Amino acid sequence: MSDSFVIKTPCSSANIGPGFDVIGLALSMYLELHVTVDRTNPSSSEPLNCKISYEGEGEEDISLDPQVNLITRVALYVLRCHGQRSFPVETSVHIKNPIPLGRGLGSSGAAVVAGVLLGKECGGLTHLDDDRLFDFCLMIERHPDNVGAALYGGFVGTYLKPLTPEDVARKEIPLSEVLPAPAGGVDTGEVPPEPPLGIGHHIKFRWAPEIKAVAIIPQFEVPTHKAREVLPAEYSRNDVTFNLQRIALLPVALGQSPPDPDLIYLAMQDKLHQPYRQTLIPGLSEIVESMTPASQPGLLGVCLSGAGPTILALATSHFEEIAENIMARFKRQGIECGWKLLEPAEGTTVTRA
Ligand SMILES: Nc1ncnc2c1ncn2[C@@H]1O[C@H](COP(=O)(O)OP(=O)(O)O)[C@@H](O)[C@H]1O
Ligand SMILES: N[C@@H](CCOP(=O)(O)O)C(=O)O
């Protein structure tokens, strides 16, 4: 018997200014996995029974080895936690990826969510509901904002449950044990650590239908781990209070229809991550400080998308003008950009023909 299905996962913009590691917005650009499992084949010549093909962003760099590729490694993690050492004979996964890598649009979050769903579907693990899949995602991508948005869709707030000391230890297991490095084609037989139950939670916020997202995408990458290394370990009380005041406003401001530009502009300010990431993204502070609803018609607010370098401008009109304006500011720093008009998106879907 053969089985074919498509997994479709949106990209995401995390933080939306003050919501560092909390807020995520799923957006209308989708990673797709076109999967066929041909169980009629008695055996497979592919490593781990899985053949990968790939088109789109990162085509030259992304590995087609199922032990190395992030999506299939994540799927293998889910399978191995359930006593299945490899993909079913014979699995083929065609990856279509329009999400630019390392730009702050949640490409890795989408890859992790799609990988977890791939493991569930290939393993016939129908008992795993979305909340349990979220736990698996959090063992790999350890900030919940991108994976929460990509899995559940829409505009979400994410939070982690206080865990018992034993569960904390399990959740903090080094990533290398969750996703072991390729062992030269040899299956070591090790069973990876299962996630604790109910680590991650989410809540959906309203999104005013007039608000669209303009993503201005510079032509250089900032790996998320590097953009986290530049953040301080401690913050001043004033800076924390500044962000708390804005995070209390943000979901309300972005849900109100018609939108109030001054309120949204204020609600999107941040002092916890953007000022530090300026060192990696020339022009960031100037863009965030100078683009206001008073100076730019249609604009509601501007922030760094995720860990950057993409800039997210929320707006109700004048989308192209806003994008051109921000691209011109990057150009003065010698940085070329592309841009996309995006809308809030549904979460991950699995479709069978
Ligand atoms: N579709 C994909 N297939 C395989 N690996 C991917 C895919 N998308 C992202 N990745 C991995 O995630 C990395 C980018 O992650 P990260 O630095 O967190 O940036 P982003 O902001 O895009 O999530 C890529 O360099 C690649 O290793
Ligand atoms: N909260 C994280 C979000 C990272 O998002 P990404 O799209 O850049 O992976 C952070 O700000 O580090």
Query: ipTM of this model?
Result: 0.99
What would the pLDDT profile of 135-173 be if each residue is shown by its tens digit? 999 999 989 999 999 999 999 999 988 777 777 776 666
Terminal C-alpha separation, the chain: 15
Contact, 206 vs 309, CB < 8 A?
no
Q: Give residue 188's pLDDT.
A: 73
CA distance 303 to 271: 11
Residues in contact with 68: Cβ distance below 8 Å, sequence separation at least 6, in sequence order: 182
Q: Which fold has domain 206-342?
A: Alpha-Beta Plaits (3.30.70)
What is the Å distance from ligand 1's center to 345 Cα?
20
Contact, 118 vs 93, CB < 8 A?
yes
CA distance 13 to 311: 10
- Amino acid 207 reads W
Cβ of 12 less than 6 Å from ligand 1: no
Out of 21, 113, 224, mutate this one to test ligand 2's pocket (max ligand atoms within 8 Å of CB): namely 224
Take atom 3 of ligand 2 and give the residue whose Cα is closest.
306
pTM value is 0.96
Q: Is 225 helix (H, G, I), strand (E, B) or coil?
A: helix
Cβ of 209 less than 6 Å from ligand 1: no
pLDDT band per the 50, 70, 90 thresholds, residue 183: low
Question: Could you tell me the residue ranges of all domains in the chain?
Answer: 2-202+345-352, 206-342
CA distance 300 to 261: 5
Ramachandran assignment for 334, one of left (phi > 0), alpha (psi -120 to 50 degrees), beta (any other): left
Q: Give residue 181's pLDDT.
A: 67
CATH entry, 2-202+345-352, from 3.40.50.1440, 3.30.750.24, 3.40.50.920, 3.30.230.10? 3.30.230.10
- Tell me the average pLDDT across 182-211: 86
Q: Does 206-342 match 2-202+345-352 at the fold level?
A: no
What is the Å distance from ligand 2's center to 137 Cα?
14
Atom of ligand 2 nearest to the CA of 20: 1
Residue entry with tokens 């509601």: 300
Out of 101, 103, 142, 304, mutate this one to test ligand 1's pocket (max ligand atoms within 8 Å of CB): namely 101
CA distance 308 to 288: 13
Cβ of 69 less than 6 Å from ligand 1: yes
Cβ of 124 less than 6 Å from ligand 1: no
What is the Å distance from ligand 1's center to 241 Cα?
33
What would the pLDDT profile of 71-93 be if each residue is shown by its tens digit? 999 999 999 999 999 999 999 99
The two three-digit tokens of residue 223, written as one number: 């790996």
